[in-house]
Homo-oligomer: A and B are copies of this chain.
Amino acid sequence: MNKDSLKNILDDIASGRISPEKALAEISSAGVADLGFAKIDTSRKERCGFPEFIFGEGKEASHLVSIIRQLDSQKECVLATRISPEQAAAVLKEIPSIHYDSSARILLLNPPSEKRGNIYIVSAGTTDLPVVLEAKYTAEACGCQVTLMQDAGVAGIHRLLSRTEDLRKADVIIAVAGMEGALPSVIGGLVPCPVIAVPTSVGYGANLGGFTAMLAMLNSCASGVTVVNINNGFGAGCAAARIIHSLQQA
Protein backbone atom coordinates (compact mmCIF):
# COMPACT_ATOMS: atom_id res chain seq x y z
CA MET A 1 0.00 0.00 0.00
CA ASN A 2 1.53 3.32 -1.00
CA LYS A 3 1.73 6.36 1.21
CA ASP A 4 -1.10 8.23 -0.53
CA SER A 5 -3.53 5.35 -0.08
CA LEU A 6 -2.45 4.96 3.53
CA LYS A 7 -2.88 8.67 4.14
CA ASN A 8 -6.41 8.48 2.73
CA ILE A 9 -7.32 5.69 5.10
CA LEU A 10 -5.87 7.54 8.06
CA ASP A 11 -7.83 10.63 7.08
CA ASP A 12 -10.94 8.48 6.85
CA ILE A 13 -10.39 7.26 10.39
CA ALA A 14 -9.75 10.76 11.64
CA SER A 15 -12.97 11.94 10.03
CA GLY A 16 -14.82 8.92 11.34
CA ARG A 17 -15.67 7.66 7.85
CA ILE A 18 -14.34 4.21 8.76
CA SER A 19 -13.58 2.47 12.04
CA PRO A 20 -9.99 1.59 13.07
CA GLU A 21 -10.94 -2.11 12.84
CA LYS A 22 -12.11 -1.84 9.24
CA ALA A 23 -9.05 0.24 8.38
CA LEU A 24 -6.77 -2.39 9.86
CA ALA A 25 -8.43 -5.13 7.78
CA GLU A 26 -8.20 -3.02 4.64
CA ILE A 27 -4.53 -2.28 5.19
CA SER A 28 -3.88 -5.99 5.74
CA SER A 29 -5.71 -7.38 2.72
CA ALA A 30 -5.02 -4.71 0.13
CA GLY A 31 -3.66 -5.78 -3.24
CA VAL A 32 -4.33 -9.51 -3.05
CA ALA A 33 -6.86 -11.83 -4.69
CA ASP A 34 -6.53 -15.02 -2.70
CA LEU A 35 -7.30 -18.17 -4.71
CA GLY A 36 -6.17 -20.52 -1.95
CA PHE A 37 -3.37 -22.16 -3.93
CA ALA A 38 -2.25 -18.71 -5.16
CA LYS A 39 -2.32 -15.09 -4.10
CA ILE A 40 -2.77 -12.88 -7.18
CA ASP A 41 -0.95 -9.56 -6.81
CA THR A 42 -3.73 -7.20 -7.92
CA SER A 43 -1.82 -3.98 -7.34
CA ARG A 44 1.29 -4.87 -9.36
CA LYS A 45 0.32 -2.76 -12.39
CA GLU A 46 -0.18 0.23 -10.12
CA ARG A 47 3.19 -0.39 -8.44
CA CYS A 48 5.33 -1.64 -11.36
CA GLY A 49 3.66 -0.42 -14.53
CA PHE A 50 2.71 -3.89 -15.75
CA PRO A 51 0.35 -6.49 -14.23
CA GLU A 52 1.42 -9.82 -12.69
CA PHE A 53 2.49 -12.11 -15.52
CA ILE A 54 2.43 -15.91 -15.16
CA PHE A 55 5.51 -18.14 -15.03
CA GLY A 56 3.91 -21.24 -16.53
CA GLU A 57 6.62 -23.88 -16.15
CA GLY A 58 5.48 -26.72 -13.93
CA LYS A 59 2.05 -25.25 -13.17
CA GLU A 60 -1.00 -27.51 -13.36
CA ALA A 61 -3.45 -26.63 -16.15
CA SER A 62 -6.33 -26.14 -13.73
CA HIS A 63 -4.27 -23.65 -11.76
CA LEU A 64 -3.35 -21.82 -14.96
CA VAL A 65 -7.01 -21.55 -15.94
CA SER A 66 -8.01 -20.14 -12.54
CA ILE A 67 -5.23 -17.56 -12.53
CA ILE A 68 -5.93 -16.49 -16.11
CA ARG A 69 -9.64 -16.07 -15.35
CA GLN A 70 -8.89 -13.97 -12.28
CA LEU A 71 -6.54 -11.68 -14.25
CA ASP A 72 -9.01 -11.53 -17.15
CA SER A 73 -11.72 -10.47 -14.71
CA GLN A 74 -9.45 -7.60 -13.65
CA LYS A 75 -9.23 -6.63 -17.36
CA GLU A 76 -5.47 -7.11 -17.33
CA CYS A 77 -3.36 -8.18 -20.26
CA VAL A 78 -2.68 -11.87 -19.52
CA LEU A 79 0.75 -13.22 -20.49
CA ALA A 80 1.89 -16.72 -19.49
CA THR A 81 5.41 -17.86 -20.42
CA ARG A 82 7.13 -21.27 -20.67
CA ILE A 83 3.85 -22.97 -21.57
CA SER A 84 4.24 -26.44 -23.06
CA PRO A 85 1.97 -27.54 -25.92
CA GLU A 86 0.24 -29.90 -23.47
CA GLN A 87 -0.49 -27.11 -21.00
CA ALA A 88 -1.65 -24.87 -23.85
CA ALA A 89 -4.06 -27.47 -25.18
CA ALA A 90 -5.61 -27.92 -21.76
CA VAL A 91 -6.01 -24.18 -21.25
CA LEU A 92 -7.41 -23.60 -24.74
CA LYS A 93 -10.13 -26.15 -24.08
CA GLU A 94 -11.32 -23.99 -21.17
CA ILE A 95 -10.51 -20.55 -22.59
CA PRO A 96 -10.74 -20.84 -26.40
CA SER A 97 -10.22 -17.12 -26.96
CA ILE A 98 -6.63 -17.16 -25.70
CA HIS A 99 -3.76 -17.08 -28.22
CA TYR A 100 -0.87 -19.61 -28.07
CA ASP A 101 2.45 -19.18 -29.92
CA SER A 102 4.30 -22.52 -29.85
CA SER A 103 7.69 -21.05 -30.88
CA ALA A 104 7.56 -18.49 -28.07
CA ARG A 105 5.74 -20.94 -25.74
CA ILE A 106 3.47 -18.08 -24.72
CA LEU A 107 -0.25 -17.71 -23.96
CA LEU A 108 -1.66 -14.22 -24.53
CA LEU A 109 -5.02 -12.58 -23.80
CA ASN A 110 -6.13 -8.93 -23.92
CA PRO A 111 -2.93 -7.52 -25.45
CA PRO A 112 -2.78 -3.72 -25.12
CA SER A 113 -3.21 -1.64 -28.23
CA GLU A 114 -0.70 1.13 -27.50
CA LYS A 115 2.84 0.86 -28.94
CA ARG A 116 5.15 3.24 -27.11
CA GLY A 117 8.87 3.76 -27.49
CA ASN A 118 11.34 2.13 -29.87
CA ILE A 119 12.83 -1.20 -28.75
CA TYR A 120 15.24 -3.11 -31.02
CA ILE A 121 15.82 -6.82 -30.52
CA VAL A 122 19.02 -7.98 -32.25
CA SER A 123 19.97 -11.67 -32.31
CA ALA A 124 23.21 -13.46 -33.20
CA GLY A 125 21.72 -16.48 -34.97
CA THR A 126 18.51 -18.00 -36.24
CA THR A 127 18.49 -20.56 -33.42
CA ASP A 128 17.96 -17.76 -30.88
CA LEU A 129 14.42 -17.27 -32.27
CA PRO A 130 12.37 -18.56 -29.27
CA VAL A 131 14.12 -16.16 -26.92
CA VAL A 132 13.69 -13.29 -29.35
CA LEU A 133 9.97 -13.99 -29.56
CA GLU A 134 9.54 -14.24 -25.78
CA ALA A 135 11.14 -10.82 -25.43
CA LYS A 136 8.99 -9.39 -28.21
CA TYR A 137 5.68 -10.67 -26.82
CA THR A 138 6.55 -9.46 -23.34
CA ALA A 139 7.53 -5.96 -24.38
CA GLU A 140 4.40 -5.69 -26.49
CA ALA A 141 2.29 -6.92 -23.58
CA CYS A 142 3.72 -3.93 -21.70
CA GLY A 143 2.56 -1.61 -24.48
CA CYS A 144 5.88 -1.11 -26.29
CA GLN A 145 6.88 -0.93 -29.95
CA VAL A 146 9.39 -3.60 -31.06
CA THR A 147 11.60 -4.06 -34.17
CA LEU A 148 13.57 -7.26 -34.90
CA MET A 149 17.05 -7.62 -36.47
CA GLN A 150 17.94 -11.31 -36.61
CA ASP A 151 21.08 -13.37 -37.38
CA ALA A 152 23.67 -10.59 -37.03
CA GLY A 153 26.40 -12.50 -35.19
CA VAL A 154 29.98 -11.22 -35.00
CA ALA A 155 31.57 -13.95 -37.16
CA GLY A 156 30.30 -11.91 -40.13
CA ILE A 157 30.37 -8.55 -38.45
CA HIS A 158 29.59 -6.55 -41.62
CA ARG A 159 25.98 -7.76 -41.22
CA LEU A 160 25.75 -5.77 -37.99
CA LEU A 161 27.89 -2.78 -38.94
CA SER A 162 25.83 -2.07 -42.04
CA ARG A 163 22.84 -1.51 -39.74
CA THR A 164 24.55 0.79 -37.23
CA GLU A 165 22.51 3.85 -38.15
CA ASP A 166 19.25 2.05 -37.43
CA LEU A 167 20.51 0.81 -34.10
CA ARG A 168 21.52 4.30 -33.04
CA LYS A 169 17.89 5.37 -33.30
CA ALA A 170 16.64 2.89 -30.70
CA ASP A 171 15.51 3.90 -27.19
CA VAL A 172 16.78 0.57 -25.89
CA ILE A 173 18.36 -2.49 -27.53
CA ILE A 174 17.91 -6.10 -26.44
CA ALA A 175 20.93 -8.13 -27.69
CA VAL A 176 20.33 -11.90 -27.79
CA ALA A 177 23.23 -14.34 -28.27
CA GLY A 178 24.47 -17.80 -27.32
CA MET A 179 27.92 -19.39 -27.73
CA GLU A 180 30.54 -16.80 -26.67
CA GLY A 181 27.96 -14.02 -26.30
CA ALA A 182 30.07 -11.31 -27.98
CA LEU A 183 27.21 -9.46 -29.68
CA PRO A 184 26.26 -7.04 -26.83
CA SER A 185 29.89 -5.94 -26.47
CA VAL A 186 30.09 -4.90 -30.11
CA ILE A 187 26.67 -3.22 -30.02
CA GLY A 188 27.48 -1.48 -26.73
CA GLY A 189 30.45 0.15 -28.41
CA LEU A 190 28.30 1.49 -31.27
CA VAL A 191 25.31 3.11 -29.54
CA PRO A 192 24.48 5.46 -26.63
CA CYS A 193 21.20 3.85 -25.55
CA PRO A 194 20.74 1.12 -22.90
CA VAL A 195 21.77 -2.38 -24.04
CA ILE A 196 20.16 -5.37 -22.31
CA ALA A 197 22.07 -8.59 -23.00
CA VAL A 198 20.23 -11.92 -23.08
CA PRO A 199 22.43 -15.03 -23.06
CA THR A 200 20.92 -18.09 -24.75
CA SER A 201 21.67 -21.77 -24.39
CA VAL A 202 22.54 -22.07 -28.11
CA GLY A 203 25.80 -24.01 -28.50
CA TYR A 204 27.14 -27.10 -26.74
CA GLY A 205 29.89 -28.43 -24.49
CA ALA A 206 31.76 -25.62 -22.77
CA ASN A 207 28.84 -23.26 -23.43
CA LEU A 208 27.48 -24.81 -20.20
CA GLY A 209 23.87 -24.40 -21.28
CA GLY A 210 24.27 -20.65 -21.77
CA PHE A 211 26.29 -19.99 -18.63
CA THR A 212 29.37 -19.10 -20.67
CA ALA A 213 27.51 -16.49 -22.71
CA MET A 214 26.02 -15.09 -19.49
CA LEU A 215 29.42 -14.79 -17.81
CA ALA A 216 30.91 -13.22 -20.93
CA MET A 217 28.14 -10.62 -21.10
CA LEU A 218 28.61 -9.74 -17.42
CA ASN A 219 32.25 -9.03 -18.28
CA SER A 220 31.53 -7.01 -21.38
CA CYS A 221 34.28 -4.52 -22.20
CA ALA A 222 31.54 -2.20 -23.49
CA SER A 223 30.60 0.00 -20.53
CA GLY A 224 27.07 -0.11 -19.19
CA VAL A 225 25.73 -3.34 -20.68
CA THR A 226 23.31 -5.07 -18.28
CA VAL A 227 22.37 -8.74 -18.28
CA VAL A 228 19.39 -10.98 -17.53
CA ASN A 229 19.14 -14.73 -16.90
CA ILE A 230 19.83 -17.35 -19.60
CA ASN A 231 17.07 -17.56 -22.23
CA ASN A 232 15.20 -14.91 -20.24
CA GLY A 233 13.50 -13.08 -23.09
CA PHE A 234 10.70 -12.32 -20.65
CA GLY A 235 12.98 -10.47 -18.24
CA ALA A 236 14.58 -8.50 -21.05
CA GLY A 237 11.17 -7.49 -22.35
CA CYS A 238 10.11 -6.26 -18.89
CA ALA A 239 13.39 -4.43 -18.35
CA ALA A 240 13.01 -2.65 -21.69
CA ALA A 241 9.42 -1.76 -20.78
CA ARG A 242 10.59 -0.27 -17.47
CA ILE A 243 12.92 2.01 -19.45
CA ILE A 244 10.17 3.03 -21.88
CA HIS A 245 7.97 3.70 -18.84
CA SER A 246 10.58 6.11 -17.41
CA LEU A 247 10.83 7.76 -20.85
CA GLN A 248 7.09 8.35 -20.86
CA GLN A 249 7.33 10.02 -17.45
CA ALA A 250 10.26 12.23 -18.55
Residues on A close to B: CB < 8 A?
A: 1-4, 6-7, 10-11, 13-14, 16, 19-20, 23-24, 27-32, 36-39, 41, 43-44, 47-50, 52-53, 55, 57-59, 63, 82, 124-127, 129, 150-159, 161-162, 164-165, 168, 171-172, 179-182, 185-186, 188-196, 199, 201-232, 234-235, 237-243, 245-250
Asked whether B246 lies within 8 Å of A193 as measured between CB atoms, the reply is yes
Flag if A218 contacts B214 (CB, 8 Å).
yes
A234 and chain B: residue at smallest CB distance:
B223
Which chain B residues border A82 with CB–CB below 8 Å? 204
Number of copies: 8
Which residue of B is nearest A232, CB measured? B205
A198 to B: closest C-beta gap in Å: 10
Which of B10, B219, B228 is A203 in contact with, Cβ under 8 Å? B219
Note all chain B residues with C-beta closer than 8 A to A1.
158
Of B165, B213, B248, the contact of A2 (CB 8 Å cutoff) = B165
Instruction: Report B-chain residues with C-beta under 8 Å of the C-beta of A246.
Output: 171-172, 192-194, 243, 247
Question: In the complex the two chains form, is B216's CB within 8 Å of A41's CB?
Answer: no
Instruction: Show 28 A/B contacts (Cβ-Cβ < 8 Å), sorted by A.
Output: A10-B23, A14-B16, A31-B156, A31-B159, A37-B150, A39-B156, A41-B155, A41-B156, A48-B191, A53-B223, A57-B204, A155-B220, A155-B221, A156-B189, A157-B189, A180-B215, A182-B186, A193-B242, A194-B239, A204-B231, A206-B230, A212-B219, A213-B216, A215-B216, A224-B241, A224-B242, A226-B228, A243-B246
